[in-house]
A and B are shown apart, each in its own frame.
Chain A
Amino acid sequence: AQSVTQLGSHVSVSEGALVLLRCNYSSSVPPYLFWYVQYPNQGLQLLLKYTTGATLVKGINGFEAEFKKSETSFHLTKPSAHMSDAAEYFCAVTGSGNTGKLIFGQGTTLQVKP
């Protein structure tokens, strides 16, 4: 069985500060990991994903995440927050060989203060 835990339902940062959103997963098979962003009243948009290969993954809007197998983590970072980054962020996991359905965490709301 697979599961995702996002530490912190709300994260608040100042504009220009580092963004760090935490995600830990549990998977009995090699995981594929995803970060999605959801703006108010919109669907989910893919930020980045890890499948195989390089463990540091770069995504859109300056975000990146690092897959750390030993820590079962896939934390999302951005060096400098922008006001437009305010949104809800979801970490998700699926596994090779399964049906491909995504298991989502409960989400982290990012607030960016001016």
Chain B
Amino acid sequence: EAGVAQSPRYKIIEKRQSVAFWCNPISGHATLYWYQQILGQGPKLLIQFQNNGVVDDSQLPKDRFSAERLKGVDSTLKIQPAKLEDSAVYLCASSLETSSSGNTIYFGEGSWLTVV
């Protein structure tokens, strides 16, 4: 079974530039998550989708971050304009349903962003 796919794996941009990350979840998984992991910290949820609807985006900095999940499968996370503090690993994850039923969340390998 293929895992969660993310691209690009690594990206270096200058501040105020824009960047986009792509995620393809495990086939059949209804729930998709984007987490931000800053060096030395645990992952923090940015946004959660159930199919193509947003369940939770309370910690997404909406002035610069946006995300979409068209057709309820692939997802794109965009940052525009980027700030130095956005340097982090962006982890995409998916699960069959929400973890309120104890379903396992599967993570991709992450997209590493450095803003200079």
Q: Please, what's the 1-or-0 string for B74-116, where 1 marks a CB less than 8 Å from any CB in chain A? A: 0000000000000000010101011111111111111000000
A46 is contacted by which of B48, B101, B104 (Cβ under 8 Å)? B104
Task: Report if A99-B55 is in contact (Cβ < 8 Å); known contacts: A43-B108, A44-B107.
Answer: yes
Interface hits, A90-111 → B, CB 8 Å:
90, 92, 94-102, 104-107
Q: Please, what's the 1-or-0 string for B26-40, where 1 marks a CB less than 8 Å from any CB in chain A? A: 000001010000001
In the assembled complex, A42 has its CB within 8 A of some CB on chain B: yes
Query: How far does the alpha carbon of A42 sit from the alpha carbon of B9 in the complex, in Å?
Result: 10
Residues on A lying within 8 angstroms of B by beta carbon are 4, 9, 32, 36, 41-46, 49, 51-52, 90, 92, 94-102, 104-107
Q: Are A96 and B100 in contact (CB under 8 A)?
A: yes
The A/B interface has a contact count, at CB < 8 Å, of: 69
In the assembled complex, B61 has its CB within 8 A of some CB on chain A: no
Q: Shortest CB–CB separation between residue A6 and chain B, in angstroms?
A: 8
Q: Please, what's the 1-or-0 string for B60-73, where 1 marks a CB less than 8 Å from any CB in chain A? A: 00000000000000
